[in-house]
Amino acid sequence: MCKNYLENLSYMKQTWLSSPFDGSSDKAVDGRFTSRSISDQQCTISQPNATITWWVNIGKVYMIDHIVMYFRTENLEWGINNGYTAAFLGFSLYISNTTEKEDGILCHHDTTYTRQTIPDHVSIECPYHGQYVIFYNERLPGVTYPSGYSSKAYGDLCEVEVYGCPSPVADISQCSNPCPENCEECFPGTGYCIRCKRGFEGIACEMG
C-alpha cells in the first residue's frame, strides 16, 4: 500500500444516515470538527434508534488503508462521566461495493472497548477494496449487551476520514507492485487489475 501517498478519500463525498436528527449526514465528511458539540453544527447527529447505519460513497472502488472516526463529545471531558462514551460501544465498520453492509466485508467490530477505555477518536486499519464505508451500530430489543452500553444506538459522527491511495493507476514505482502487462488500471501496492486493456481478460489480463 502506498503509505506515502494516502489521501482522505471521503472528503465532501456523498453520504447517508438511516435516522438523521436534522436531515444532514454530510457533516461527517466536511473537514470541520474543531467543535464536537451539536450546537456548532459540525457533526452528523442521529435520532437514537435500535439500529443506526451511516455510509459514505468514496466515488469508485479504491484500495483503502485505514479509517479515522471522531465521535461527538459535546466538548466535555472525555471519560466515564461523558455519556457519549456509551453511545459508540460495539460499533462496526464495513467495506462494500454497494450501500448494503451484507454485500461487503466486516473490517472491524468493537468487542473490547468500555466506557473507561474507548477513545474520543479511533483509527481502524481496513486494508480492503471498496466504494462504500459503512458505520453500523445496534441495540436490538431482547438482546443483552455488555455493561455500560447505551440503551439505543447512535450515529453522532463529527468526522470520518477514509484514507487510501488517490490513484487507481499503478504509475508510482514506490507505491505499487507491477501492473500486469495488459492491464489498463490496477490498485497501487497490490498489482490487482480492475480493468484490462481492450481485447484482454482474465485475472492478470493474460487472455486475449
Q: How confident is the model at residue 202 (pLDDT cuts 50, 70, 90)?
A: confident
Give the pLDDT confidence score for residue 171 in this predicted structure. 41
SS3 201: strand
| Among the ranges given (107-116, 155-164, 171-180), the one the predictor scored with the smallest mean pLDDT | 171-180
Are 44 and 52 in contact by the 8 Å Cβ rule? The answer is no
Give the pLDDT confidence score for residue 175 in this predicted structure. 46
Q: Is the dihedral of CA 142, 143, 148, 152 positive or negative?
A: negative
SS3 152: coil
- Kindly list the distances between the CA atom of residue 168 and the CA atoms of 64, 171, 175, in Å, as whole numbers in the listed order: 11, 9, 11
Q: How confident is the model at residue 181 (pLDDT cuts 50, 70, 90)?
A: confident
Q: Tell me 179's DSSP state.
A: P
Q: How confident is the model at residue 172 (pLDDT cuts 50, 70, 90)?
A: very low
Q: Which cell numbers in the block locate residue 67? A: 479509517
Give the whole-angstrom CA distance, residue 152 versus residue 138: 7
Q: How confident is the model at residue 52 (pLDDT cuts 50, 70, 90)?
A: very high
Q: Which of 155, 134, 135, 136 is nearest to 46 (CA)?
A: 155
Q: Which of 80, 85, 136, 129 is nearest to 108 (CA)?
A: 136
In this prediction, residues 68-95 reach a mean pLDDT of 97
Please give the backbone phi and psi of residue 144, each rounded to the nearest 5 degrees, phi first. -90, 120
